[in-house]
Copies of this chain bind each other. A is one copy, B any other.
């Protein structure tokens, strides 16, 4: 039973699932489906693919994740970030609209699924922690701008692709002759309606007496109304005859997945991109899952999440669609529609399938420009300047990592930006740990507490000196303590006892052990006794595997206070 629960987390809620739950989730799913249709289609376009593939990507992956994921709220499907990464990764290999482009997008989803499952099996989830907050922040802001600019082409009716701002603008300006006035006018109307509905629709509903819940739902439904209105406008005014591009006929049936146009070289060249989209998608998804889980006091298991998302991506590939992940806006749509369990994910998928099977003619006159406009309006919110200011105040180095990621994503490309960001974060971290803070400490009067002599009025003794090193002792800083201790002893020849206070040392590696050995030998030849205090349990366990303590001239004290008391008593 436990094993089944572990590999099929859905069992934990399925067992107690009631008819009343089903009725509730059914209603919620119906609402969510209506809201998710334009969003999913828009994200497919964002990935450089036909809009209807967004519906394909919302069916199987959603069911698979509902059964295998550990979050009870997370909704999985096409998501802005992974869709735009898909476009960025596939673009160098094929032209959007070509069969090859689609085949590579499907393959990307497959490889990314395999990577996620491998990471789950190898318990490598911790690697995703390498994406620090500043790097993610810079990446999202720059990507949002890239996406918005990339979608401009649909608003103008021109073509133009690119992996960075420069390419995008160059390519679009090459196609400016395709500019279509009807499309632009429609787009402007649509954007105005979207902004107005976003701002006023919910409060308007409240004014006319809707309940809070209905008002908030209708507020979110703005894009749906706009889509309906625009579709009707195209139909009645035959705008498609004026050059406005529409979704058109939607091809049905199980997609034929054909990887034959892809060469082995392309496959290999895809691997870094696939890895990146897996990691970025996972990090985004887990943070959404965790923030919803916390509200409900639930547990998210990152390794199982890797597995669930990996399976969802493989399911997406089998559906002939593109990479998916858990998304914030999808999840908000679900929960605000009243979803209470992952059953909503399954039911939404079923409704989506029904729509796909029987209602696609309704989308025939849906103009692409409307989908692009809703993406632009939604995504520009992700540009977060306040976050940069906040981080800049907190740490110049981290602000630099954010800025570098932002500009490199914008001007060079997503992968380069992420890699430089991670590299800088690691470099700054290593710089920090290899320049540790070291303090000489004394007793805060009236307590058993020892603090930095430079910051507090503390009591010290002439022949005993206590050095507190504020860092793990490992290869990057092994020699720093050595230099410091020997420097102190050289300056103060009347020291008889030196205590290294280890309350901030959480790890000691072989390089540091060498260094401690050296310190011990040098102090011995200088006639100074070396003691340790407040070594933590796990560090002590480790030290016992070495012979440092066997040859120690002094003692190891549980607390710093005991050390000072015993050594002073002995001196007296």
Contact = CB atoms under 8 A, between A and B. Distances in A.
B129 A434 contact: yes
Interface string A442-482: 00100111011001000000000000001110111111001
Number of copies: 2
A561 interface: yes
Interface string A383-413: 0000000110111001000000000000000
Contacts of A490: 297, 299
A436 interface: yes
A203 interface: no
Nearest to A509: B398
Interface residues of A, number: 77
A62 B434 CA distance: 31
Given A510-B398, A561-B449, A133 B478 contact: yes
A546 B341 CA distance: 37
Contacts of A431: 126
Interface string A188-200: 0000000000000
Contacts of A436: 506
A239 to B, nearest CB: 46
A536 B468 CA distance: 11
Nearest to A449: B559
Interface stretch (A83-91, A303-311, A368-376, A511-519): A511-519
Given A391-B510, A506-B437, A449 B448 contact: yes
Contacts of A525: 295
B470 A536 contact: yes
Nearest to A283: B479
B504 A536 contact: yes
A473 to B, nearest CB: 11
Interface string A417-428: 000000001100
Contacts of A429: 474-476, 509
Interface of A: 126, 129-134, 290-291, 294-295, 297, 299-300, 390-391, 393-395, 398, 425-426, 429-437, 439, 444, 447-449, 451-452, 455, 470-472, 474-479, 482-483, 486-487, 490, 503-507, 509-511, 513-514, 518, 522, 525-526, 536-538, 542, 545-546, 558-559, 561-562
Given A133-B509, A437-B537, 5 more contacts: A131-B475, A134-B511, A390-B546, A394-B513, A470-B506
9 contacts: A129-B434, A129-B475, A130-B430, A132-B475, A133-B514, A299-B490, A394-B513, A425-B475, A429-B475
